[in-house]
Chains A and B, each alone.
Chain A
């Protein structure tokens, strides 16, 4: 639906170097990467705010590379809301509609409808400056969604909010986006956004997309060292089998894992590599998860050794000290038991 080909441009210190990807209708793409990777510039370039040095953007098959922002049918939501301070909440939300030939009544009806969806219908007469951060961001979302954009662009939309508000807004966004069937590109540095919302993830570094895939692919099979250390955690996907004694049993591949978190149906789990201990024998211990694994690959990086471990239909990474490698004689092809606590296995979705 949206195709980006070989996007190249420079804005001050920020660069895009041959960025290509495509998203389908109703897709939810999150873009992650370190500061200065060019994530925001990518969003603004897609919105048409910068002339490209080279490259091509097509929306629903139509080449929009040279179209000005006002003819691209994309809306943008920023971290710092960018509500027009001289207009009421109502006028902010209605702003995009006023460009269309709609009667006053129609505009009022549509504003009220979206304001109710986002629970801001009681704030319509207020000025943006008097609202809390969470309220302001909901107004910004309403303003962006009311025009029915083909693509909604969000630049770290929850970063300025406290944890609780962020959680609330995340589930509200998931609901509203789902209802409107909006295609989203969402730049974030918060992996919770990825776990909660994303269908696809693009990892950016130095103006390039270095990996593109589903969250499970990117988090459990990172393309290179940089991505591995950036994403940090393993992502496992499984099905909840049963729940007893405060533990949830999840089948991942052919292995049953136990987590202390509650879950139902399909579950996505996060397991940090440093939480995993390796042992030759499945000894008695307090950890609930003891998984027989084979070392597929190992690689020394700085003061740590990274291991790729495989089990029945399940693969993940662990990190150990060179000392442990010596002691346990860890070599590729050797068999061990990977041991980790139920608390280390977190349900993220």
Chain B
């Protein structure tokens, strides 16, 4: 009897929450008038910020995966001094408020020797498009590393030992055996990195400044227009963000599903 009611309550809560979320997302689509959405979509500002968002997010995602794979692999496979400290520091931005992360990065690239050294070789991070990528990179990296690390942990070391004994070096083994076996996890981490980069707001706003038509990504378009009272534009950028994330999730599900069928 008790089991049955617990089961009912759990299912009820699940359905209620799903309906609530669905309602909230639906509101986003039905509150503005279609003509307003279309007009906003055609505006130079929205087109600019969509293009900038896609460009920076794709760049940040590529960098995240490029760095995340060796980081995740070394955390999973190698023992080195200070490994547990490294693990917590990499995880830190996940629990860190994005705004504070942005502030910390801004200070680092502003008035420290690191920032000045970067400026000396012509790399301007603060208040630039590069700053957007840097902010997105740091926001997304911990999430991607988490997924990549778990993926490598799920692959028995013995596969690598077999490949090594058959004449393959460490790097050859990684490329020929580990990477193909980690394919699903790498796709997942790519999608997560992309979604985090697209949605990154706090860190991007502070490090890159959120300047109109210069360092304006979709979340910043939403924020700026909301604060001007330009509701149509704000909602439209929200819709575009949701659609892009949705497309990313669908792509992920599709690839995951395809992989499972192929593997079974």
| A residues apposed to B, CB below 8 Å | 44, 47-49, 68-70, 72, 74-76, 78, 80, 82, 84-86, 95-96, 99-100, 129, 143-144, 147, 149, 153
Is the C-beta of B87 less than 8 angstroms from some C-beta in chain A? Answer: no
Q: Which residues 136-190 of B sit at the A interface, judged by CB distance below 8 A?
A: 156, 158-159, 161-170, 177, 180-181, 183
Given contacts A44-B161, A49-B161, A76-B162, contact A84 B177 (CB under 8 A): yes
Is the C-beta of B122 less than 8 angstroms from some C-beta in chain A? Answer: no
Is the C-beta of B229 less than 8 angstroms from some C-beta in chain A? Answer: no
Q: Is the CB of A82 within 8 A of B159?
A: yes
**Interface size class for chain B?**
10 to 19
Q: Digit string of B211-243 for contact with A (CB within 8 Å is 1, else 0)?
A: 000000000000000000000000000000000
List residues of chain A with CB within 8 A of the CB of B158: 78, 80, 82
Given contacts A82-B156, A129-B263, A129-B264, contact A147 B169 (CB under 8 A): no
Known contacts A85-B181, A86-B183, then 14 further A-B pairs from the complex at CB < 8 Å, ordered by chain A residue: A47-B164, A49-B161, A68-B170, A69-B165, A70-B165, A70-B166, A70-B168, A70-B169, A75-B165, A75-B166, A78-B158, A84-B163, A99-B168, A144-B166
Q: Is the CB of A76 within 8 A of B168?
A: no
Q: Is the CB of A84 within 8 A of B165?
A: no
User: Which of the residues A44, A72, A95, A149 comes within 8 Å of B163, measured between beta carbons?
Assistant: A95
Q: Is the CB of B163 within 8 A of A49?
A: no
| Complex CA–CA separation, A82 to B167 (angstroms) | 16
The chain B residue with its CB closest to the CB of A95 is B166
| Complex CA–CA separation, A77 to B166 (angstroms) | 11
| Complex CA–CA separation, A72 to B166 (angstroms) | 9
Q: Is the CB of B159 within 8 A of A147?
A: no
Question: How close is A151's CB to chain B, nearest CB, in angstroms?
Answer: 10
List residues of chain A with CB within 8 A of the CB of B170: 68
Can you identify 20 A-B contacts, CB atoms within 8 angstroms?
A47-B164, A48-B164, A49-B161, A68-B164, A69-B161, A69-B164, A70-B164, A75-B165, A76-B161, A76-B162, A76-B165, A78-B158, A78-B162, A82-B156, A82-B158, A95-B166, A99-B168, A100-B167, A143-B166, A144-B166
List residues of chain B with CB within 8 A of the CB of A69: 161, 164-165
* Those 8 A-B pairs whose CB atoms lie nearest each other, nearest first: A96-B166, A69-B164, A99-B167, A86-B180, A82-B158, A70-B167, A76-B165, A82-B162
Q: Is the CB of B167 within 8 A of A96?
A: yes
Question: How close is B164's CB to chain A, nearest CB, in angstroms?
Answer: 4
The chain A residue with its CB closest to the CB of B179 is A86
The chain B residue with its CB closest to the CB of A99 is B167
Q: Is the CB of A86 within 8 A of B181?
A: yes
Given contacts A85-B263, A129-B263, contact A147 B177 (CB under 8 A): no
| Complex CA–CA separation, A49 to B162 (angstroms) | 10
List residues of chain B with CB within 8 A of the CB of A47: 161, 164-165
Question: How close is A237's CB to chain B, nearest CB, in angstroms?
Answer: 35
List residues of chain A with CB within 8 A of the CB of B159: 82, 84
Question: How close is A141's CB to chain B, nearest CB, in angstroms?
Answer: 12
Chain A CB within 10 Å, residue with most, of B159, B165, B169: B165
| Complex CA–CA separation, A43 to B58 (angstroms) | 46
Question: How close is B64's CB to chain A, nearest CB, in angstroms?
Answer: 24
List residues of chain A with CB within 8 A of the CB of B177: 84
The chain B residue with its CB closest to the CB of A155 is B158
Q: Is the CB of B164 within 8 A of A147?
A: no
List residues of chain B with CB within 8 A of the CB of A85: 181, 263
| Complex CA–CA separation, A100 to B167 (angstroms) | 9
List residues of chain B with CB within 8 A of the CB of A86: 180-181, 183
The chain A residue with its CB closest to the CB of B162 is A82
| Complex CA–CA separation, A96 to B264 (angstroms) | 25
| Complex CA–CA separation, A84 to B163 (angstroms) | 9
| Complex CA–CA separation, A44 to B160 (angstroms) | 12
List residues of chain B with CB within 8 A of the CB of A68: 164, 169-170
| Complex CA–CA separation, A80 to B183 (angstroms) | 22
Question: How close is A197's CB to chain B, nearest CB, in angstroms?
Answer: 21
The chain B residue with its CB closest to the CB of A86 is B180
Question: How close is A51's CB to chain B, nearest CB, in angstroms?
Answer: 11
Given contacts A82-B156, A82-B158, A84-B159, contact A49 B180 (CB under 8 A): no
Question: How close is A136's CB to chain B, nearest CB, in angstroms?
Answer: 13
List residues of chain B with CB within 8 A of the CB of A84: 159, 163, 177, 180-181
List residues of chain A with CB within 8 A of the CB of B162: 76, 78, 82, 143
List residues of chain A with CB within 8 A of the CB of B163: 84, 95
| Complex CA–CA separation, A49 to B157 (angstroms) | 10
| Complex CA–CA separation, A78 to B162 (angstroms) | 9
Q: Is the CB of B181 within 8 A of A99?
A: no
Chain A CB within 10 Å, residue with most, of B167, B263, B264: B167
